[in-house]
Amino acid sequence: RRETALALGKVRDPSAVNPLIQQFQKDKIAEVKNACIVALGEIGDVSAVDALMRILQNKPKNENTADEFSRRSAARSIGQIAQIIQTGKTKILTPQNFLPDNKKLIEKPKYPKLTETFPIFRLAIGVLIQTLQNPRESQDAKREAAFALGALGDKSAIPVLQANLNNEDYYLAEISKEALKKISAFPDWKRNKIA
């Protein structure tokens, strides 16, 4: 079941979204559930965002690595869906790299107003901001939430991303910096001052 879920993600057929969500909801095995979450991100279909948000809306469980992985994967998958819609690229590196800013490639988004074109992403922004601000959340989930906020490109995420530019977690700080650069690539937000 795990391998089938992962294979469905590689095939990227949107008709697999509902079966993957159903499998995630009914399966008892954490590895299968997590494979479904990962596959939903790789498919890149916006219809999966609601189910992924519900995972993040549950409170994080202390020291539960399966729960941590599910939450991290849900945040990453939301960002991956936005990235696929905006650029067509499925590969994600977070952070992209540690090169100087002028060497980082930030692609122009296909949809300058993503949250207007796909309103479910407006709800996702609030969930991702809460994930990033939650002190009980794992660092991995916070990193992926910062990545996703950058992929969504909405200016409402600027304050929380700026607050993490000097985070003691160097990876989270770098991902937040990259996310702010992505937001600045959206035409409507170019006038915002990004630190």
Q: Which residues contact 123 (CB under 8 A, 6 or more apart)?
A: 50, 53
User: In residues, how long is the chain?
Assistant: 195
In this prediction, residue 171 carries a pLDDT of: 93
Q: Which residues contact 4 (CB under 8 A, 6 or more apart)?
A: none
Q: How far is CA 42 from CA 4, 7, 92, 139, in A?
A: 14, 10, 10, 22
pLDDT tens for each residue of 92-137: 666 665 556 666 666 777 888 888 999 999 999 999 999 999 999 9
Compute the radius of gyration of the chain from its Cα atoms. Answer: 16
CB atoms within 10 A of CB 100: 7
Report the alpha-carbon distance of residue 112 to residue 95 in Å, rounded.
Answer: 23
More confident of the two residues 164 and 194: 164
pLDDT tens for each residue of 14-47: 999 999 999 999 999 999 999 999 999 999 999 9
| C-alpha distance across the termini of the chain, in Å | 45
pTM of the model: 0.88
Report the alpha-carbon distance of residue 138 to residue 105 in Å, rounded.
Answer: 28
Report the alpha-carbon distance of residue 44 to residue 83 in Å, rounded.
Answer: 8
pLDDT tens for each residue of 43-59: 999 999 999 999 999 98
In this prediction, residue 61 carries a pLDDT of: 80
Report the alpha-carbon distance of residue 160 to residue 156 in Å, rounded.
Answer: 8
Q: How far is CA 128 from CA 9, 36, 112, 123, 156, in A?
A: 23, 20, 20, 9, 11
In this prediction, residue 98 carries a pLDDT of: 58
